Amino acid sequence: MAVEPPTPGTARPGGRTARVRAAVLRAAEDALVEHGFAGLDLGDLAQRAEVGRTTVYRRWGSTTALVADLLTDMAEQSLPRARTGSLAGDLRANAQLVRRTLADPRQGALFRAVLAAANGAPGTADPGTTEALRRFYRRRVEEWAPCVTEAVERGELPPDTDEFEVIRAVSAPLYYRMLTTGEPLDEAAADRAAAAAEAAARAGAYRRP
């Protein structure tokens, strides 16, 4: 079913504008998972999403803008940080969330496609996608950083601990494992990533200079 362009003033949460956006973003995910960023085409996405081409071109204008919007949506849909009461519990929850996302066939393929689009060779990497991807990770790191600052307040970590570096340290080994080894992203790998980040943080490895 084709959806007409929204009439000005009709946009509301859950309304036609939101439905169109959801349909086009899901179509963009499908296309990224199947063919990567280079295979994206706004006309194809409009057809996949059963949305008018004019709507898609007017709303997003370019595949870069569409992927940026997809990353905004992914950040908005991502789960809020844990509040387990301990640094160990919070970091483990973070690691398991990252692990589940990357190990999920669809989500994992989506992240690999966007990472490839943002980090390929100069002639192929897309600068707008690079910026949108960095924004996505900044938002996710900021969401989880209070787990670390609260641990500092509880006296679990040195007072000058860089909370962003601790959160990044939880994700880093899981991404590295995915990108450079064929080894599974299992729960043990996630628990180890969390435990290592916690131990290094306690030892002062992430203190600000």
Minimum Å gap between C-beta 28 and a copy of itself is: 12
Q: What is the full DSSP assignment across 19-42?
A: HHHHHHHHHHHHHHHHH-GGG--H
**Stretch touching a copy of itself by CB under 8 A, among 8-16, 32-40, 54-62, 66-74:** 32-40
Burial bucket for residue 182 (CB in 10 Å: 0-12, 13-18, 19+): exposed
Q: State which of positions 151-170 bind a copy of itself (CB under 8 A).
A: 165, 168-169
Position among 12, 38, 79, 149 found at the interface with a copy of itself (CB under 8 A): 38
Phi, then psi, of 14 in degrees rounded to 5? 80, -5
Phi, then psi, of 88 in degrees rounded to 5? -60, -45
**Stretch touching a copy of itself by CB under 8 A, among 4-12, 49-57, 76-84, 115-123:** 115-123
Minimum Å gap between C-beta 64 and a copy of itself is: 16
Q: Which residue has the tokens 């992203």?
A: 185
The CA distance from 104 to 98, in Å, is: 10
Which chain residues interact with a copy of itself by CB under 8 A? 32-39, 109, 112-113, 115-125, 130, 133-134, 137-138, 165, 168-169, 171-173, 175-182, 188, 192, 195-200, 202-206, 209
